[in-house]
Chains A and B, each alone.
Chain A
Amino acid sequence: MAWTRDEMAARAAQELEDGFYVNLGIGIPTLVANYIGDDIDVTLQSENGMLGMGPFPYEDEVDPDLINAGKQTITELRRTSYFSSADSFAMIRGGHIDISILGAMELSETGDIANWMIPGKLVKGMGGAMDLVAGVKRVVVIMDHANKAGEPKLLKECSLPLTGKACVNRIITTLGVFDVKGDHLELVELAPGATLDEIKDKTEAKYTVSDNLVEHEAA
């Protein structure tokens, strides 16, 4: 049980509000775009220099001058604007983007995030991740609750080099939703089939359980 990648993305899409400017990270966060409700209007930003990102092109629309931050070919919309990387990061670092949804390898109980390097392995770089977590108004992370060996990824302190310190607001994992409350996390939603015991087993970070815990039922 618990949430699949698509279900986490669908849950993350509920974080978006009408009128939001949104930056989605590479990987599972990209799937969030598939679950944006018809009742809200949001604008997707791509940090390589575009506001108003459209869907993938049809074969005959592919344009090498039009890609997203994951270097995938995409399309423009009627609302689209293009700009330089400096303007793009003025939006991000200047607090003009409403929400950033991104993945993580580790998270701490104080909202530190590590998602860019594993010492000893080849490091590809942080790209725009450090700017996003430092500058965007609200930072939401989507991640597996535990690693493949079942070991916690929500930790007292991150063991991996940080991408940002005390910058995450909410965490959506395979098992539930947590809010960062300064010095601890608060479990606010439980994924279908997940139990408080399982979360206890697989969480190292200090957390409390919300009095208004929402327990999702299987769809």
Chain B
Amino acid sequence: MKKVYPDAKAALEGLAFDGMTLMAGGFGLCGIPENSIAALHAAGVKDLTVISNNCGVDGFGLGILLDNKQIRKMVSSYVGENKEFERQFLSGELELEFNPQGTLAERIRAGGAGIPGFFTKTGVGTMIADGKEHREFDGETYIMETGLTADVSIVKAWKADPEGNLVFRKTARNFNPMMATAGKVTIAEVEEIVELGELDPDQIHTPGIFVQRLFKGDFEKRIEQRTVRERESA
């Protein structure tokens, strides 16, 4: 089966539909699948439930799907770097489910591994625990969280081979590897597709079994907080 597609539009062909659940990798604007997001924007599918740690900024990342009113619900740990998010949330157009970041990562990991639920200490005694099953293990209280899966996962990696084996770069890895495992279909966009055999099998972060479609994208890689230091003068 050929996994390599010419571009985002071709890779999304037949997969996007109104009301779908989408996982989108990235932390802030770092390691986000820019090209697939743009293609979903162009496709115009709406009522999306989007599972992603954040929701982009005004005019970039998932923010462009917000601007187009394509998102019905976000499942995230930290949002609100964009005015449009705030407006839609306060007006009731947009639903929001907060998950602690570690709980979100583990729910996705569990979903991809066929684990329907697990227990964690995170959130015990907070509003996050409301309505969730509590259980004691060795005298400590834990709450049950459920695994998450998606109709489609869109992830961003650095390099891939035609089998869909992926290598990520620096902190652009973040949620991408787990989301690749948790999509019924996973689309990976990468900076470079190398020949079979060029990736060291010992250094592959995501094995190709988790990736169904793949394309080489163009990346703007916008920076949210550009912080630098001065060189000491000689």
Partners in one complex: yes
Contact A73 B126, beta carbon cutoff 8 Å: no
- Asked whether B89 is an interface residue with its Cβ less than 8 Å from the other chain, the reply is yes
Q: How far is the CB of A121 from chain B (nearest CB, A)?
A: 11
8 Å CB contact of A125 from B79, B123, B172: B79
Contact A134 B121, beta carbon cutoff 8 Å: yes
A131-B103, A135-B122 known; A55+B174 contact, CB < 8 A: no
The count of chain B contact residues (Cβ–Cβ below 8 Å) is 58
Which B residues are closer than 8 A to A by beta carbons?
A: 27-31, 53, 76-81, 86, 89-90, 98, 100-106, 108-109, 120-128, 158, 168-178, 205, 221-231
Contact A131 B122, beta carbon cutoff 8 Å: yes
Q: How far is the CA of A64 from the CA of B64 in the complex (A)?
A: 20
Q: How far is the CB of B86 from chain A (nearest CB, A)?
A: 6
Main SS class of interface, A = loop
Shortest beta-carbon contacts, A-B, top 4: A165-B125, A89-B102, A131-B102, A125-B78
List 11 interface pairs A-B (beta carbons < 8 Å), by A numbering.
Answer: A49-B174, A69-B27, A71-B27, A85-B174, A86-B108, A88-B105, A131-B101, A134-B121, A135-B102, A162-B125, A164-B125
Contact A67 B30, beta carbon cutoff 8 Å: yes
8 Å CB contact of B177 from A74, A76, A86, A165: A86
Q: List the A side residues contacting B124 at CB < 8 Å.
A: 134, 164-165
Contact A65 B31, beta carbon cutoff 8 Å: yes
A122-B89, A134-B123 known; A128+B100 contact, CB < 8 A: yes
- Asked whether A27 is an interface residue with its Cβ less than 8 Å from the other chain, the reply is no
Contact A135 B53, beta carbon cutoff 8 Å: no
Given A64-B30, A66-B170, A166-B125, 9 extra CB contacts under 8 A: A48-B30, A62-B223, A65-B169, A72-B225, A82-B171, A85-B53, A93-B120, A93-B122, A134-B121
Contacting residues of chain A (134-191) with chain B, CB-CB under 8 angstroms:
134-135, 161-166
A122-B89, A122-B90 known; A128+B229 contact, CB < 8 A: no
